[in-house]
Structure 1
């Protein structure tokens, strides 16, 4: 009797292969992080923990805190701007409205990150679109300094993250049982009360998922802070690039990568714990 190979193994093999390659790459970065830097050479020396002691300097801690701060702001503003769009996308009664919102939401994903970043440079520059319009309206005399600031980086990252946030929120809103909202309305609840007491709590899993995904995604942002920040706003990925490709200090660049990975995983665990407590409180109420 011929024994057939289980069907799921055919689909499991690519995932296992990808996991093995990822684990090998992470191990390579880890072993580089504990190797000695040889100035003027791409070769590394023996094992050392000096790279991890070097990280305990104010400049590196400030970059890490800036990365957390920018990532958190990006996640929050992406949520605030994306929720109305996702709600309208799901609840719109006309098909052409939904089609238009889908097109506007997904289209940014078809353009590269570099293209979008350069577009924002044209918008936010001293002679860019925003300052030109404000000058013509006589609202300002001197151009606003938006480029090379945290504000400019956050604005560009929010636009970059919104399509993903909209998709996650729209999925959560589409799974809300409309009968619960109708029951609340029949009991005398106003539309605002229905939204705050019924719709919003039921979409909380999508909100939390969107916050976590955008936060983790922004933690690894490189080209947007590199171009919009112009070297004045550094995130951890930009610091890794400077150490690895400008100074050619590959061991310390690997150390920064390990620290960034640990920080990202730690923040995700913390957010999961906080969101779990929030879900329990809402469930009790």
Structure 2
């Protein structure tokens, strides 16, 4: 009975989530298959998925989302691990507090900060203009709402670097110090200790962090909506626009996009679960 008690306690919440989320998922899949009886659409079909993958805009949106998510996640891991190593070598409560501050700031606030700093009318362009480095604000490179998603990547880095740094720092602190002492006695330098001991022992947690931030940035809406280009749009933004269309007969197409988006997120979650189980071992 004691073994079952945690599951019994979780049962009411689990049932609520299964019923509400399950209903939404099933309804979304049915709509993506063109089954909407309220609109007189009662025939199940895969034509909306066929149209989806034939649509060049969808492909561009998918690649754009994958690109910005992948670039921001890779950079976040590299910089976050480096910062974690510095914090590990120079332990300080103040440093720990500073690295946690960006985590507290909501993404919507981060967007406005980035707009005020990196836009063509932002602080950097004004400073450069006052220093006669540029003669006009339009000469400042377009970093916001640009086709490469630079502004989106910057916004993700703001939140994701501290996330990776905090997780990696905690792992580094829990590594047995005897490994490091033994390596030093054998003549290993700082670089070798990091690359041969600290990094391999932190690898699984770093991979897990990468999967988490990649899944988040791939499915995020507000940042690419406010900082992204007109074309191509990030996949969540395209899904929202299609869903908000006044033409209700366009709803299956929008739900097909959401289903593809959810499927990719599910695949990432499976990889995360595998990585998490390996970490426990």
Same fold (TM over 0.5): yes
CA distance in 2: counterparts of 1:179 and 1:251, whole angstroms: 59
Contact 2:32 2:48 in 1 (8 A): yes
Shift of 1:16: 4.4
CA distance in 2: counterparts of 1:89 and 1:23, whole angstroms: 43
CA distance in 1: counterparts of 2:267 and 2:133, whole angstroms: 45
Q: Does 1:30 align with 2:24?
A: no
Q: Which residue of 1 aligns with 2:41?
A: 45
CA distance in 2: counterparts of 1:49 and 1:175, whole angstroms: 51
Q: Does 1:134 align with 2:128?
A: yes
Shift of 1:261: 1.7
Over residues 48-86 of structure 1, what are the superposed CA-to-partner deviations in whole Å (9 max), with x where a residue is unaligned? 322111102221111111111111001011112212322
* Aligned residue-pair number: 267
Contact 1:148 1:231 in 2 (8 A): yes
CA distance in 2: counterparts of 1:134 and 1:199, whole angstroms: 42
Contact 1:171 1:206 in 2 (8 A): no
- In structure 2, relative to structure 1, the CA distance for the partners of 1:232 and 1:101 (3 Å cut) is farther
- In structure 2, relative to structure 1, the CA distance for the partners of 1:44 and 1:172 (3 Å cut) is farther
Shift of 1:126: 0.6
- In structure 2, relative to structure 1, the CA distance for the partners of 1:206 and 1:270 (3 Å cut) is closer
More moved, 102-111 vs 45-54:
102-111
Contact 2:87 2:169 in 1 (8 A): yes
Contact 2:212 2:272 in 1 (8 A): no
More moved, 48-57 vs 206-215:
48-57
Over residues 205-242 of structure 1, what are the superposed CA-to-partner deviations in whole Å (9 max), with x where a residue is unaligned? 12101111111111111111111114335111001111
* Structure 2 residue corresponding to 1:77, chosen from 75, 78, 81: 75
CA distance in 1: counterparts of 2:272 and 2:70, whole angstroms: 11
Over residues 122-143 of structure 1, what are the superposed CA-to-partner deviations in whole Å (9 max), with x where a residue is unaligned? 1111110122233344444421
Q: What is the DSSP-based 3-state SS (H/G/I as helix, E as strand, rest coil) of the residue aligned with 2:41?
A: strand
Q: Does 1:12 align with 2:10?
A: yes
Q: Which residue of 1 aligns with 2:240?
A: 241
- In structure 2, relative to structure 1, the CA distance for the partners of 1:165 and 1:15 (3 Å cut) is farther
Shift of 1:247: 4.5
Q: Does 1:151 align with 2:150?
A: yes
| TM-score (norm: length of structure 1) | 0.83
Contact 2:211 2:268 in 1 (8 A): no
Gap regions ≥5 residues in structure 1: 280-285
Q: Which residue of 2 aligns with 1:106?
A: 100
| Residue correspondence of structure 1 range 1-285 to structure 2 within 5 A | 6-13=4-11, 14-35=13-34, 43=39, 45-47=41-43, 48-56=45-53, 57-93=55-91, 97-98=92-93, 100-141=94-135, 142-149=139-146, 150-248=149-247, 249-266=250-267
- In structure 2, relative to structure 1, the CA distance for the partners of 1:134 and 1:224 (3 Å cut) is same
Q: What is the DSSP-based 3-state SS (H/G/I as helix, E as strand, rest coil) of the residue aligned with 1:246?
A: coil
CA RMSD of aligned residues (A): 2.8
Q: What is the DSSP-based 3-state SS (H/G/I as helix, E as strand, rest coil) of the residue aligned with 2:57?
A: helix
Gap regions ≥5 residues in structure 2: none
Q: What is the DSSP-based 3-state SS (H/G/I as helix, E as strand, rest coil) of the residue aligned with 1:146?
A: coil
